[in-house]
Chains A and B, each alone.
Chain A
Amino acid sequence: MKEPMVRTGTAAAPQTAEKVSIYGVVAEFESPEALLEGVRAARALGYDKMDAYTPFPVHGIDEAMGIRRSRLGWIVLGGGIIGAVAAVLLQWWTGAVASPLVVGGKPLFAFEFGLPIIFELAVLLAAFAAVLGMLALNGLPRFYHPVFKYSRFDRAADDRFLLALEANGAGFDAEQAAEILKSAGGRHVEVVTE
């Protein structure tokens, strides 16, 4: 396990910030409600770059952090359309162009009998678009992230709610950020380096 990063409150924190590049200041909250308080407090004081790390999706955090709705739906729609078009081309080209063969007096291609496979391929490609699109939008897989260095990160997938005020935000100041997190009820406040 990594050593805990420089604790705030010690005089070292701001100086370290000059030397090593800082990811941000991270604190732990005990409940989703407490986390939301922390988010609102930080936003009210002008911190706009932040992220929360939680064991399950916390309702209301998108609004509190000012995150926009996911655009994933459009990617999935695209996947579905590609699947449907591919199914039409597949059935039309194989049946009516590549090997035209009359079976049971039925037409070489028709949407009536094409529909089941059009539907299935649309769903198949839309599902792949949903999963791969989600991973792409999230930048996953990514096996290293600074927040993993937070000494109590392991509990973010268990029962704790972390809030990170990120250093790349406007007017970031490690000491002030730590103060905000503390006064909002955050505990185990740490500066985490990149």
Chain B
Amino acid sequence: MADLAITRELDAPLVVGEPSYSDVTESVSRIVENKMPRAWYIAFGVTATLTGVLLAMLAYLVTTGIGVWGNNQPVGWAFEITDFVFWIGIGHAGTLISAILLLLRQRWRTSINRFAEAMTLFAVACAAIFPAVHVGRPWRAYWLFPVPNEYLGIWQNFRSPLMWDVFAVSTYATVSALFWYTGLIPDLATLRNRAKTKARRIIFGILSLGWRGSARHWRHYEMAYLLLAGLSTPLVLSVHTIVSFDFAVSLIPGWHSTIFPPYFVAGAIFSGFAMVVTLMVIARQVFHLEHLVTMKHLENMNKVMLGTGLIVGFAYLTEFFIAWYSGNPYERFTFINRALGPYWWAFWIMVSCNVLVPQLFWFKRIRTSIPAMFVISILVNVGMWFERFVIIVVSLSRDFLPSSWGHFRPTYVDILTLTGSFGLFLTLFLLFVRFLPMISMSEVKSTLPRPAAARGGER
């Protein structure tokens, strides 16, 4: 990372108000060292309740059976797979920010990467619930993994993209956790050194593994971090590619398409950035981090949303063009059915939220307006959920033979499970901001403009 130092001098400052090194330590550490603001407790109460709703719905599902969902024949994949793809997609922005932007030398990532990586972990945790309970007998969900067991007598079918998906998602979750923890080690050492109580000193002492910031250690550490970024970059692209194979490798009209991998990856990054903006806008306000997460960071994320949103819109157009150009009547029908069939409303929510609304980000006024970006980022995630719904449910409900068509209607269990998964995601997030530094102190310090940062004097 030697040449990073050269660009450092040329870049505009990434933080405002010329904070010193100790200002950074102070403004990030004090959040986890002091009492949380009132708003945190209220939010935690709400999200913990929603998590309870999720657990209740899952308990009902496991004790009763898949029939409590609206799934039917032919719509065997409905809300649960939509939710799975949605949550996995959300996670992708975290890896993009931490890995791909690191390799692309985008130094503005330092203020938001920890936050976004945490989001990745929690989103993947939410995602993993859905396929696990969708197998019908979740207590045998370990059959997804190649572990010997006395019942099955045969091994998994590795020719199936569903098996690839098991490996892709579990690798993704593990590598994201490793990457996140590695990034945390120096900051955990900072918290250990600042600890006022013995308990905190011991807990953070153990978690920081005795990190002491030795120059010899930083050399291996930076190499490890760079290599993890290099590994995560193809990994994150592979995950949504393989998720899209779940569909593209089948023969259902509307699924059997080679455009799926890039289209899914772009959509994942699009929705993930929207989620980062939604959460970051609140967090920086509540915890007074406006000087570290500046308008420039938010504006850059909005630009990424605009760019990936255009890719997604282009993919929609391409799908329609190919449906017409291929001359395949089933493919043509599927796309006419999407826009004008019984689920027309889902299609038009998707197009308005994902293609039309983000165009507002062409205007700098809107790109730099907190309320505008908050609303737009939420709409983008609504749109991206509906995109998966349209692809999955609408394609399955009307495939080849009209005699085997069907209609899917979600039950209250479907809807409350989705709502509850947001509760789990946000609960994990609130615990994260309560107990761990949400901004990478060591990385932000390394980007501070030099002479000003070293002041701070005797203490």
Contacts and interface: CB of A to CB of B under 8 A. Distances in A.
A binds B: yes
Interface of A: 30-34, 51-62, 65, 67, 69-70, 72-73, 76, 90-91, 94-95, 98-99, 101, 103-104, 106, 113-114, 116-117, 119-121, 123-124, 126-128, 130-131, 133-135, 137-138, 140-145, 147-148, 153-159
B216 A140 contact: no
A101 B157 CA distance: 9
Contact of A103 (B1, B159, B222): B159
A72 B212 contact: no
B443 A62 contact: no
A72 B25 contact: no
Contacts of B446: 56-57
A137 B4 CA distance: 24
* Chain A residues touching B, majority SS: helix
Interface in B222-262: 222-224, 227-228, 231-232, 234-235, 238, 242, 245
A124 B174 contact: yes
A101 B156 CA distance: 10
A94 B158 contact: yes
B171 interface: yes
Given A128-B178, A157-B193, A158-B194, A53 B235 contact: no
Nearest to A142: B210
A119 B158 contact: no
Interface of B: 1-2, 4-5, 20-22, 25, 146, 153-161, 163-164, 167-168, 171, 174-175, 178-179, 181-182, 186, 189-190, 192-194, 205-206, 209-224, 227-228, 231-232, 234-235, 238, 242, 245, 441-443, 445-446, 450-451, 453-454, 456, 459
Contacts of A32: 450, 454
Given A31-B450, A52-B214, A159-B21, A127 B220 contact: no
B161 to A, nearest CB: 8
A53 B190 CA distance: 12
A70 B1 CA distance: 12
Instruction: Determine which residue in A69, A91, A153 has the highest number of CB atoms from chain B within 10 A of its CB, and name it.
Output: A91
Given A106-B159, A133-B224, A30 B213 contact: no
A141 B224 contact: no
Given A117-B158, A127-B231, A159-B20, A138 B193 contact: no
Contacts of A30: 454
B215 A72 contact: no
B218 A57 contact: yes
B206 to A, nearest CB: 8
B216 A120 contact: no
A127 B20 CA distance: 34
A171 B221 CA distance: 31
A103 B175 contact: no
B230 to A, nearest CB: 9
A192 to B, nearest CB: 12
Contacts of B220: 70, 72, 133-134, 137-138
Given A57-B221, A94-B155, A103-B157, A158 B25 contact: yes
Contacts, number: 208
Given A60-B5, A138-B220, A158 B189 contact: no
Given A33-B450, A120-B171, A134-B182, A140 B210 contact: yes
A159 B454 contact: yes
Contacts of B206: 141, 143
Contacts of B158: 91, 94-95, 113-114, 117
Contacts of B218: 54, 56-58, 61
Given A133-B224, A138-B216, A155-B459, 12 more contacts: A60-B5, A65-B215, A73-B223, A76-B231, A90-B146, A95-B158, A104-B159, A120-B168, A123-B238, A127-B179, A145-B210, A154-B193
A59 B8 CA distance: 11
A70 B189 contact: no
A94 B156 contact: yes
Contacts of A133: 220, 224
B227 A141 contact: no
Contact of B231 (A69, A130, A140, A155): A130
A159 B213 CA distance: 12
Nearest to B165: A116
Given A59-B5, A141-B210, A143-B205, A130 B227 contact: yes
Contact of A124 (B1, B175, B193): B175
A55 B21 contact: yes
Contacts of A127: 174-175, 178-179, 228, 231-232
A157 B217 contact: no
Contacts of B231: 76, 123, 126-127, 130
Instruction: Determine which residue in B164, B221, B224, B443 has the highest number of CB atoms from chain A within 10 A of its CB, and name it.
Output: B224
A156 to B, nearest CB: 5
Contact of A141 (B153, B193, B209): B209
A148 B212 CA distance: 8
Contact of B215 (A54, A104, A113, A130): A54
Nearest to B451: A31
Contacts of B182: 131, 134
A98 B210 contact: no
A131 B212 contact: no
